Structure 1
């Protein structure tokens, strides 16, 4: 009697992605395969697999980076099992620190994938991913505007021009901008230099305001429920709420608060050896954009929430930065609870 196998043969592919080419390493569940270079195109890889491994169950992975998630979505559309992994999660032997090539990287990815030691990072939906791009565009504009402001003040300091005390503030008031435009110099060259810098500032400021307006409007329309739940938390303004929606996605996907705090990066760096346990600041593995936004939101929460103020005073006398991180973690816990319970936050009263 003839029998047929009940399981499909498996193919594992580790891909080291680059802009101009991909280095791939293949391996089946029985034998190690080969390494080769192909054009950076998912359909070229699909043709190779169909030609040499027809009927195989395909598992593939690549490291997150400049290529984003578009290739992952194509691999999934082929019916493959695809992972996008954090490069730091790929185990590398000591030898790989001194001998690093694309071929070695692809082989390591394939080996880890075959052994089942890789976990995919969160892959957002296309709509959420492109919304995140708009939020990061605003963040870039804020940095650019800060850079222009620093350059203008540096130029004034270089020329020995003193800014009036009532105008010399981090936030540029309308009066300060008028004062800048009314400045005149001995030669027209400097007048033109300052004029172009102010034009750069005005253009960047307008773009930042337009992007912020569109960002808030989109989140209010398409994520209305979560947006207003987040806004109910003291310290969480419109931009911070948009940032949480864009960068962190749906907070309900986290099983518990510890996972969320670890993802944001509000957990300590810990090192233990025997009886010696040391903590040294925050973990470098974080969503740095949202961690900074949450720390800034903490200052606002301390102004309006008496419970937060009491928690801050409870730790007074310690390092201010450490206290602020504790309060930021408490603020994040509230944000998580508000979304999970879908109940607006109510400011408590300290007796």
Structure 2
């Protein structure tokens, strides 16, 4: 897409799932038919027909490179969890339950370990555990380097001028309950983009509702889950923490009132709805300066 635009060629990136397809049980599919369908879709889009397809807004190279910090950190965190669980699993098979691989004295304690029958660990098991600890320590060093890079990004956002996209992250860090991890994910995965309205914001995170209405049938299928999965998962986690750190906000009171009306049930459904409302409220706060009712700010 960027190479075509650099050559002066008009280019559009289409979301393939947004193109209408035949609903026959067995439909014919060939490259020629798909090509003709793409051409007809492009002609309809250029004519200005509404909702004929969804065009993807390609991020700039700077934005695409900046979000690699968050994504790599999530991948390394998952690898760290797997390494820790593997070490604990090997030791649990020997009757050892109190070993903590993330403590600084992990190597010293490894040499002192005794199995459930009082015998020392075998030499091959000790060698395997030592190799796993080497991988774990490498992951910890890489995570430390990524955390330093994220802190540098936050410092850059604090020094950015108001109105720039970098200043969005600085405004996120002003909200109590949103730390460096949440702010970096919200900024790099979603809020750096311009949105026209709240529906676009919710749809990008996959939190838009999907009603099913036909005749007398009217029910809600849940959220679409067609957006950014990293942003959606982070918002669900943030919604739970929002209830703890921002209990006086209108959003928290709305959640508790709805749960109380349902007799304490459907908390998971309500937390998803709260995540959508929270995303829209945070988007309005960082882009339009609309305060969230009852929101507490972080102390210096």
- Shift of the 265–173 alpha-carbon distance from structure 1 to 2, 3 Å rule, reads farther
C-alpha distance in 1 between matches for 2:208 and 2:270? 13
Aligned residue runs from structure 1 range 139-288, under 5 A: 139-163=74-98, 172=102, 174=104, 179=109, 182-183=112-113, 185-222=120-157, 224-251=166-193, 253-288=194-229
User: How many equivalent pairs are there?
Assistant: 272
CA shift for structure 1 position 102? 4.3
Deviations 1:202-256 (A, max 9, x none): 11122122112202312431555222211122322112211122111435x1111
Does the Cα contact within 8 Å between 2:209 and 2:222 map onto a contact in 1?
yes
Structure 1 equivalent of residue 17 of structure 2? 88
Aligned residue runs from structure 1 range 64-103, under 5 A: 72-94=1-23, 99-103=28-32
Structure 2 equivalent of residue 302 of structure 1? 243
Give the secondary-structure state (helix, strand or coil) at the position aligned to 2:135: helix
Deviations 1:160-191 (A, max 9, x none): 32237xx6xxx955577864564354311001
1:339 aligns with 2:280: no
CA shift for structure 1 position 312? 3.2
User: Mind listing any 5+ residue stretches in structure 2 that lack a counterpart?
Assistant: 46-51, 115-119, 161-165
Please, which of 268, 289, 313 is the counterpart of residue 230 of structure 2? 289
Structure 2 equivalent of residue 311 of structure 1? 254
1:325 aligns with 2:272: yes
Give the secondary-structure state (helix, strand or coil) at the position aligned to 2:55: coil
C-alpha distance in 1 between matches for 2:138 and 2:18? 42
User: Mind listing any 5+ residue stretches in structure 1 that lack a counterpart?
Assistant: 1-71
C-alpha distance in 2 between matches for 1:101 and 1:149? 48
Give the secondary-structure state (helix, strand or coil) at the position aligned to 1:153: helix
Q: Structure 1 length normalisation: TM-score? A: 0.68
Q: Could you tell which deviates more after superposition, 277-286 or 195-204?
A: 277-286
Does the Cα contact within 8 Å between 1:233 and 1:344 map onto a contact in 2?
no
Larger-Rg structure: 1
- What is the aligned-residue RMSD (CA, Å)? 2.9
CA shift for structure 1 position 145? 1.4
Whichever structure has more helix as a proportion of its residues is 2
Aligned residue runs from structure 1 range 101-120, under 5 A: 101-116=30-45, 117-120=52-55
